[in-house]
Structure 1
Amino acid sequence: MSKPPATIRVLLVDDHFFVRSGVKVSLEAEGDLQVVAEADSTASAVEQYRQHQPEVTLMDGNLPDGSGIQAITEIRAEFPQARIIMLTINETEEDVYQAVAAGATGYLTKSSGRKEMLHAIREAARGKRYFPAELAARLNARRARPELTTRETEVLQHVVAGTPNKNIADVLGCTEQTIKNHLSHIFAKLDVQDRTSATVTALRRGLVRLE
């Protein structure tokens, strides 16, 4: 475990000004934390990171021109050493899993307390990862589950939207039997028996979202 710098420089990424302001005030009340830059979009997050290369970045999950996961992916592609903590309202197992897959070194929800946020930042600055116990459990559960293919996820999105099999087939340019085959695989991977249960499970786990 490396020793943290005397001053931990932080980049705040959130599209809500008042959220950034509140977090900034909270961080800068600490003698070892300094907010060196703020960003309100994926593009500006990448640019601000490139310019300041902070020790730690706090990244929102939902941004107007993309997602926090997209921003993490772009930053880590250019700066593999970047230490980025997701700080978001999203907390399903799929949210956590995708963030970690993109390169996040920590994950907090916006309901987290100040003390936990400060601890996570300092842990990240030391080169350590931080996940609250409940989210770590969700991450481990997700890792143990079989992956849906891209097409299965696409079919599942239509199922959640209530689209009949024939219509899904028309949209995807395949036969209705092909859709039924996909559904059979999806049900097996989700450990469910029907479309209703698949919909509930998909939304609970964060595999798809209502549009």
Structure 2
Amino acid sequence: MTHPPFSVNPSDRQPNRLRVLIADDHPAMRHGLADAIDAEADMQVIGQAADGRQAIELFRQFEPDVLLIDLQMPRVDGLEAIATIRKQFPAALIIVLTTYAGDARVMRALTLGASSYLLKAAELADVVQAIRSAVSGKPIVDPGVASEMARHAGCESLTPRELSVLRLAAMGQSNRAIGQTLNISEDTVKSRMRNIMGKLGAEDRTHAVTIAMQRGFLDQ
């Protein structure tokens, strides 16, 4: 279930405050963030979006100083919203605030244009500070997320063709079925799967799917 977007009346906007847009499909999360941000003397929440499509619409309408956005949302997810917004507004400051911490997912968000990446377990004070830091040109990445990224630094990434095989494997398709779907031979499927397992350090295809899901490869 989606909820209508919320934005402040233009007459209620406060000058000399950082204008923040929040995008999250959980009302309690949005409202909690809004209360914490509005309590700051130098910040004001100018809008709340319940999905990625609303986030794009409100960003276009208000051009906030900072967008706080979740990744997992209905209709349009956070990654697609980030890509769309950054294409139209290359200087947009976007902070990801999510529960999803896989290193491939993080790299995808940062590559698309997010300036900072925080987890929802963060203290509200840390989120507020991340907003100020983003505006000051100092991106922040959650320490645990940064550690995970460092652990996989230098690891070979999966190619688009390998990802296409892995996605179908995650759906439970056999090698033969994957080959038929992708119009490639079963031997080619097996070869790609061996490459995937080698890159991920997986023992078998089920293990490869599990690792890929944890690291966020299947979100790309």
Letter in 2 for 1:61: L
Aligned to 1:96: 106
Deviation, structure 1 residue 197: 2.8
> Is the counterpart of residue 51 in structure 1 residue 61 in structure 2?
yes
CA contact (8 A) 1:49 1:75 kept: yes
- For residue 89 of structure 1, report the CA deviation from its aligned partner: 1.6
Q: Do the aligned partners of residues 86 and 172 (structure 1) sit closer, same or farther apart at CA in structure 2, a change above 3 Å counting?
A: same
One-letter amino acid of the counterpart of residue 77, structure 1: K
1:165 aligns with 2:175: yes
Shift of 1:53: 1.3
Instruction: Count the aligned residue pairs.
Output: 205
The question of 1:65 aligning with 2:72 is answered no
Matches of 1:157 and 1:43, distance apart in 2: 25
What residue is the counterpart of 1:75 in the other structure?
Answer: 85
1:142–1:102 CA distance, 2 compared to 1 (3 A): farther
2:128 is the alignment partner of 1:118: yes
- TM-score with structure 1 setting the length: 0.89
- 2:189 match: 179
Does the Cα contact within 8 Å between 1:93 and 1:141 map onto a contact in 2? no
Answering whether residue 34 of structure 2 is matched by residue 24 of structure 1, we say: yes
**Counterpart of 2:218 in 1: which secondary structure?**
coil
Secondary structure at 1:208 match in 2:
helix
What letter corresponds to residue 39 of structure 1 in structure 2?
Answer: A
Give the drift of 1:142. Answer: 4.4
**RMSD of aligned Cα (Å):** 1.8
State the TM-score, normalized to the length of structure 2. Answer: 0.86
Indicate if the aligned counterparts of 1:12 and 1:37 stay in contact, CA closer than 8 A. yes
Distance across 2 between alignment mates of 1:24 and 1:51: 19
Q: Does the CA contact (< 8 Å) of 2:66 and 2:92 recur in 1?
A: yes
Q: Distance in 1 between matches of 2:17 and 2:163?
A: 44
Amino acid of the structure 2 residue aligned with 1:120? A
What are structure 1's unaligned runs of at least 5 residues?
none
> Separation in 1 of the partners of 2:90 and 2:218?
28
C-alpha distance in 2, partners of 1:47/1:189?
A: 39
What SS does structure 1 have at the residue aligned with 2:31? helix
Q: In the alignment, residue 176 of structure 1 is paired with which amino acid?
A: E
Would the alpha carbon gap of residues 126 and 6 (structure 1) be closer, same or farther in structure 2, given more than 3 Å must change?
farther
The residue that corresponds to 1:128 in the other structure is: 138
* Bigger shift: residues 39-48 or 106-115: 39-48
